[in-house]
């Protein structure tokens, strides 16, 4: 028995590190939503989240806030990677996830705005290929989701472009704050500054030595899952910067470029710009936060040469976030051989699919309890 455990009081041992019904590692959108949906179904259950940061410290509060089902060039590239069926199921999951998000939180609580999404092109061959596939894509998306004529050709600020009429954007910080308020009302406990170093079927070991027992343990640590569970989820770092307020910003809404690798949007009269992980993929396979100068320089150049902000614009803040990627971009939602549950590998789409993944995880938990 270690020192920290020895130093616990009787009350702490009996009530705080005793048998929780459900312990979740990670207070991002997935872990928090699992807690919320599980508690809705099991109001009497003792549910707690262990989060290593004093607020979530992964991707959910560090992303771009696009509420998107994906661009034409992204889908066509993914057809090659994962096959048509998988990609169409993913579009359906993204759409369902966004609907669930908007049914769970009010638009005020998430800061959601319906903007539509626009993919811009600088390469004619890629534009022609994407534009030529719109008819088929619209038909397939309609069959999956019931949404008609999602994609159409347009022009935006002199660029050939394809719009997606069903997309929007939200305020990621406000969304997470609102989910945590809901958790507090629902009676879910969140232990902040609590880093888990080991998990098992019966509980978790904290960095400071405490062991907390639980009937079920779910790892929802996404890009940080590797040390906690044996699943094929790799970290992938993403970079974002936001400009100081601009006198004139012609771009309004959400935009992406090159298979969704580059994305930008207006936040009032500031520009948020991010992505370009594809130009340094190996270096960005890391769970360490940080700015890759190569990517920074690429995004600055893109802002000057493609977005063409007026000269003199300045970056106000720059940050990175860590995604969890799987080989075919499908999330891992399962009970592992060790008996620990895992919901991770949202592959850069967690705003869209996060709540749906959480709902699926809760169903797996329910089925496993029924089967026990
Ligand atoms: C730069 C960037 C831009 C993005 N833009 C978009 C977008 O526009 N639209 C979109 O749909 N998706 C976007 N994403 C992806 C989306 O943010 C993620 O898919 C989603 O937030 C994943 O949620 P999560 O809860 O699974 O993981 P996270 O939000 O990463 O949550 C995991 C939590 O686990 C905690 N944790 C980790 N290890 C431990 C441990 N050992 N002990 C305790 N706690 C631990 C972390 O601190 C973290 O809070 C973006 C991601 C990044 C990085």
Q: What is the CATH number of the domain that holds 162?
A: 3.30.9.10
Pocket lining: 56 vs ligand 1, CB cutoff 6 Å: yes
User: Quick check: 92 pLDDT over 80?
Assistant: yes
Residues 131 and 14 in one domain: no
**pTM to 2 decimal places:** 0.96
Which mutation among 58, 94, 219 tests ligand 1's pocket best, with the greatest number of atoms within 8 A of CB? 58
User: Quick check: 2 pLDDT over 60?
Assistant: no
Query: Do the strands 117-121 and 159-164 form a parallel or antiparallel pair, or are they unpaired?
Result: antiparallel
Secondary structure tally for the chain: helices H, strands E: 11, 19
Distance between CA atoms of residues 55 and 27, nearest Å: 8
> Does residue 158 sit within a domain?
yes
Structure tokens at 360: 């699926």
Residues 296 and 151 in one domain: yes
C-alpha 90 – ligand 1 centre gap (Å):
18
Residues 18 and 149 in one domain: no
Please report the pLDDT score of residue 13 as a whole number: 81
Residues 332 and 224 in one domain: yes
> Does residue 305 sit within a domain?
yes
Query: Do the strands 211-219 and 20-25 form a parallel or antiparallel pair, or are they unpaired?
Result: parallel
> Does residue 68 sit within a domain?
no
Average confidence (pLDDT) over 94-101: 97
Distance between CA atoms of residues 196 and 207, nearest Å: 6
* Residue (of 239, 302, 304, 303) closest to 275 by Cα position: 239
Please say which residue of 305, 325, 345 terminates a domain.
325
> Does residue 95 sit within a domain?
no
Residues 147 and 245 in one domain: yes
Please report the pLDDT score of residue 1 as a whole number: 45
C-alpha 346 – ligand 1 centre gap (Å):
8
> Does residue 83 sit within a domain?
no
Average confidence (pLDDT) over 26-51: 98
Pocket lining: 28 vs ligand 1, CB cutoff 6 Å: yes
Please report the pLDDT score of residue 228 as a whole number: 96
Residues 275 and 303 in one domain: yes
Residues 190 and 56 in one domain: yes
Average confidence (pLDDT) over 137-145: 97
Residues 298 and 248 in one domain: yes
Q: Domain of residue 294: give its range.
A: 114-167+234-325
Average confidence (pLDDT) over 67-82: 94
Please report the pLDDT score of residue 293 as a whole number: 98
Q: How many domains does the chain have?
A: 2
Pocket lining: 168 vs ligand 1, CB cutoff 6 Å: no
> Does residue 226 sit within a domain?
yes
- pLDDT tier at 6, thresholds 50, 70, 90: low
The residues near 154 (Cβ < 8 Å, ≥ 6 apart) are 118, 161, 162, 163
CA atoms within 13 A on the CB side of 246: 22
Residues 157 and 239 in one domain: yes
Which mutation among 175, 203, 222 tests ligand 1's pocket best, with the greatest number of atoms within 8 A of CB? 222
> Does residue 262 sit within a domain?
yes
What's 340's domain CATH number? 3.50.50.60
> Does residue 228 sit within a domain?
yes
Pocket lining: 66 vs ligand 1, CB cutoff 6 Å: yes
DSSP 287: S
Beta bridge mates, 228: none
Distance between CA atoms of residues 254 and 54, nearest Å: 30
């Amino acid at each position: 028995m270690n020192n920290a455990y020895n130093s616990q009081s009787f009350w702490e041992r009996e009530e705080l590190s005793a048998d929780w019904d459900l312990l979740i590692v990670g207070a991002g959108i997935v872990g928090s939503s699992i807690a919320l949906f599980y508690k809705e179904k099991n109001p009497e259950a003792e549910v707690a989240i262990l989060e290593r940061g004093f607020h979530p410290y992964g991707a959910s509060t560090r992303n771009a806030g696009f509420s998107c089902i994906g661009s034409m060039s992204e889908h066509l590239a993914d057809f090659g990677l994962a096959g048509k069926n998988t990609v169409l199921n993913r579009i359906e999951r993204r759409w369902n996830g966004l609907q669930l998000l908007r049914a769970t939180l009010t638009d005020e609580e998430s800061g959601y705005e319906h903007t539509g999404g626009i993919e811009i092109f600088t390469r004619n061959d890629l534009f022609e290929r994407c534009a030529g596939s719109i008819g088929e894509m619209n038909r397939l998306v309609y069959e999956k989701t019931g949404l008609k004529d999602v994609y159409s050709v347009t022009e935006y600020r002199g660029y050939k472009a394809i719009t997606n009429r069903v997309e929007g954007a939200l305020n990621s910080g406000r969304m997470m704050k609102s989910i945590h308020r809901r958790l507090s009302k629902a009676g879910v406990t969140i232990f902040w500054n609590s880093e888990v170093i080991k998990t098992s079927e019966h509980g978790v070991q904290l960095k400071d030595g405490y062991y907390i027992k639980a009937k079920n343990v779910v790892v929802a640590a996404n890009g940080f899952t590797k040390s906690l569970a044996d699943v094929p989820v790799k970290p992938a770092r993403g970079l974002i910067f936001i400009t100081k307020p601009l006198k004139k910003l012609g771009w309004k809404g959400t935009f992406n470029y090159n298979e969704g690798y580059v994305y930008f949007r207006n936040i009032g009269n500031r520009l948020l710009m991010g992505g370009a992980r594809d130009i340094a993929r190996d270096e960005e396979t890391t769970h360490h936060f940080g700015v890759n100068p190569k990517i920074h320089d690429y995004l600055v150049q893109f802002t000057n040469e493609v977005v063409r902000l007026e000269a003199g614009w300045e970056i106000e803040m720059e940050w990175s976030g860590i995604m969890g990627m799987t080989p075919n971009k499908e999330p891992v939602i399962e009970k592992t051989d060790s008996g620990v549950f895992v919901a991770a590998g949202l592959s850069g789409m967690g705003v869209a699919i996060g709540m749906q993944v959480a709902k699926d995880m809760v169903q797996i938990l329910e089925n496993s309890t029924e089967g026990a």
